[in-house]
């Protein structure tokens, strides 16, 4: 019996959780740490082949996965019974006899998963199909005030959003967030929002009646590159470094096809040394390259107002594209600092693959040449290419989406059983 979706027993810091008794211990059964890794189990490998290459015949699945044809036949039958695959008799090879020659593909139309990206300023709610494609996304300001009221508001928004989808059945909820995420119990510490031990998983499980997975947002984005990005499959020794920058900065490391997620929470690069006379800051990376740092410098330069709808990073970028030399100088300087920071991380970790993402990199692609030049100039190791995320400015929604899908991708039959059991219990 698969144990991929059994909640883990380790917890961040192993400190006791208290929530006033409001959320019963039984709800923790519906919180599942997301397995952000390339699928290995037989059913998961077959489902992955169908997802990535379908419609696909069983013998081709056997060749692609290295499984025996007997194993493939058993897993295809189980996935058909679970409602995750469908046969395409219309595509069967002419003259072929028997069902094994009938191609199969993912039956994605009846289902969706719900992703939620909790940002310091904006919360995105994302509907994703089983192929990993974004069906729809809505953005709302992240609620402030007490964490209890904020969580209730987010859960209410998600519940209202799901009512739109009359023809698709929701299977899972995935949350990607900054701060320190305890994926095993669904609690979140988010200092920028003023949240401490916020029971995100329990609130959503209770409100939506679905299994819930939570992950650090940078881990989630690295997982999206791993599971949804168009790239060759990593080997067991491949390492990949993902560096993120927008309002915050962060990194994630993937090893052998799995995002490394320490039980004590993600590491931080916010305090890496960084200096810029133009951008100011405290001498640390995040305070130097964040959106707020760019805005503060733009206000000081006098081409962005101190408040109002025009006081945004988007306005700074528009000014740069119009040729405003002050704006160009700011975004170019941020690119330089980021390139040098990525070089420092690369020299410490020396990964096989290096990916950068987040709007600090993608929203003004004109500065990527500066990022790359600073990276090459600062790194002391042999030259290695930087790869920009496959998801562009959609990286947050891709991260939330993959958290909602990763359990299904790792153990598709077990995930369907869990989703059905949770639905029946509500």
Looking at residue 11, its pLDDT comes to 36
Query: What are the residue ranges in the chain where pLDDT is below 50?
Result: 1-21
**CA nearest to 50, candidates 91, 108, 105:** 105
CATH class of 236-389: alpha beta
In the chain, where are the structural domains located?
Answer: 42-106, 109-223+396-424, 236-389
Looking at residue 231, its pLDDT comes to 61
CATH code for the structural domain at 42-106: 1.10.10.10
Looking at residue 307, its pLDDT comes to 85
Report whether 149 contacts 143 (CB < 8 A).
Answer: yes
In whole angstroms, what is the distance from residue 146 CA to residue 161 CA?
23
CATH code for the structural domain at 109-223+396-424: 3.30.420.40
In whole angstroms, what is the distance from residue 364 CA to residue 369 CA?
11
Beta-ladder partners of 85: 106
Q: Would you say the CATH fold of 236-389 matches that of 109-223+396-424?
A: yes
Q: Provide the greatest CA pair distance for the chain.
A: 75
The predicted-structure confidence for 141-162, as pLDDT tens digits, reads as follows: 999 889 999 999 999 999 999 9
Three-state DSSP state, 282:
coil
The predicted-structure confidence for 349-368, as pLDDT tens digits, reads as follows: 999 999 999 999 999 999 99
Looking at residue 292, its pLDDT comes to 93
In whole angstroms, what is the distance from residue 241 CA to residue 345 CA?
9
Three-state DSSP state, 308:
coil
**CA nearest to 114, candidates 57, 158, 60, 153:** 158
């Amino acid at each position: 019996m698969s144990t991929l979706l059994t909640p883990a027993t380790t917890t961040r810091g192993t400190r006791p959780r208290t929530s006033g008794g409001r959320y019963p211990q039984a709800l923790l059964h519906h919180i599942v740490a997301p397995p952000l890794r390339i699928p290995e189990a037989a059913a998961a490998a077959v489902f992955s082949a169908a997802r990535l290459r379908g419609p696909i015949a069983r013998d081709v699945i056997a060749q692609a996965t290295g499984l025996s044809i007997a194993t493939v036949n058993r897993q295809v039958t189980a996935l058909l019974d679970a409602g995750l695959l469908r046969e395409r008799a219309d595509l069967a090879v002419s003259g072929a006899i028997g069902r094994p020659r009938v191609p199969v593909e993912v039956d994605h139309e009846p289902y969706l998963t719900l992703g939620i990206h909790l940002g310091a300023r904006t919360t995105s709610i994302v509907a994703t199909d089983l192929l990993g494609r974004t069906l729809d996304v809505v953005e709302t300001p992240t609620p402030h005030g007490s964490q209890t009221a904020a969580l209730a508001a987010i859960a209410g928004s998600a519940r209202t959003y799901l009512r739109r989808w009359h023809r698709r059945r929701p299977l899972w909820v995935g949350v990607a967030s900054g701060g320190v995420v305890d994926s095993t119990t669904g609690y979140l510490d988010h200092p920028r929002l003023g949240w401490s031990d916020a029971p995100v998983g329990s609130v959503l499980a209770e409100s939506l009646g679905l299994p819930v997975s939570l992950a650090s947002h940078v881990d989630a984005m690295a997982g999206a590159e791993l599971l949804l990005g168009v790239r060759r499959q990593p080997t067991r020794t491949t390492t990949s470094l993902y560096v993120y920058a927008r309002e915050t900065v962060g990194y994630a490391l993937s090893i052998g096809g799995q995002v490394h997620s320490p039980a004590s929470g993600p590491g931080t690069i916010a305090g890496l040394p960084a200096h810029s006379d133009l951008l100011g800051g405290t001498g640390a990376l995040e305070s130097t390259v964040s959106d707020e740092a760019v805005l503060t410098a733009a206000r000081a330069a006098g081409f962005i107002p101190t408040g109002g709808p025009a006081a945004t990073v988007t306005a700074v970028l528009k000014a740069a594209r119009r040729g405003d030399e002050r704006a160009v100088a700011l975004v170019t300087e941020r690119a330089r600092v980021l390139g040098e920071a990525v070089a420092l991380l690369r020299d410490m970790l020396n990964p096989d693959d290096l990916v950068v993402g987040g709007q600090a990199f993608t929203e003004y692609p004109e500065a990527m040449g500066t990022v790359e030049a600073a990276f090459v100039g600062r790194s002391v190791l042999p030259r290695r290419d930087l790869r920009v995320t496959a998801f562009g400015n959609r990286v947050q929604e891709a991260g939330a989406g993959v958290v909602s899908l990763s359990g299904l991708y790792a153990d598709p039959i077990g995930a369907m059983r869990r989703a059905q059991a949770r639905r029946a219990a509500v």
